[in-house]
């Protein structure tokens, strides 16, 4: 029982961390990377920036998008691992549990 509790705590921490990273990328980092591409595009079109600056901003955006998706995958894996340890229904609010049961 103590071992299971420790595993659950570790898994909840992984879920919390992955969710935090995903939200950070969704709310802050991804919009900034998109804005940088747009700014560089406008600057390039007005000859204020060179082509290298534009494609660098686009590459950074692709890297950010990839990392964003990886954080979502990390979250989903962590939730699946928690489910394997204890069964996810034990950790969901009762209303969500009932809704999931009805949909099955």
Q: How sure is the predictor about 16, in pLDDT bands with cuts at 50, 70 and 90?
A: very high
Mean pLDDT of 9-37: 97
Mean pLDDT of 74-95: 77
Mean pLDDT of 37-62: 98
Mean pLDDT of 72-87: 91
Q: Cα–Cα distance between 7 and 3 in angstroms, integer? A: 6
- Both structure tokens of 33: 């990377």
Q: Is the pLDDT of residue 97 over 90?
A: no
> Residue 98's pLDDT is what?
44
Give CA angle at 99 (95, 103), nearest 5°.
170
User: What is the biggest distance separating any 2 CA atoms in the chain, rounded to whole angstroms?
Assistant: 66
pTM of the model: 0.76
49 Cβ contact list (under 8 Å, min separation 6)? 40, 43
Q: How sure is the predictor about 21, in pLDDT bands with cuts at 50, 70 and 90?
A: very high
């Amino acid at each position: 029982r103590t071992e299971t509790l420790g595993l659950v705590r570790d898994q909840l921490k992984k879920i919390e961390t992955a969710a935090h990273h995903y939200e950070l990328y969704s709310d802050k980092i991804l919009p900034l990377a998109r804005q940088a591409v747009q700014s560089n595009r406008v600057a390039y079109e007005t000859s204020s920036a060179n082509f290298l600056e534009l494609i660098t901003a686009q590459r950074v955006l692709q890297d950010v998008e990839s990392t964003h998706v990886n954080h979502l995958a990390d979250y989903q894996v962590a939730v699946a691992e928690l489910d394997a340890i204890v069964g996810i229904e034990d950790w969901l609010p009762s209303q969500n549990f009932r809704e999931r049961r009805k949909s099955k």
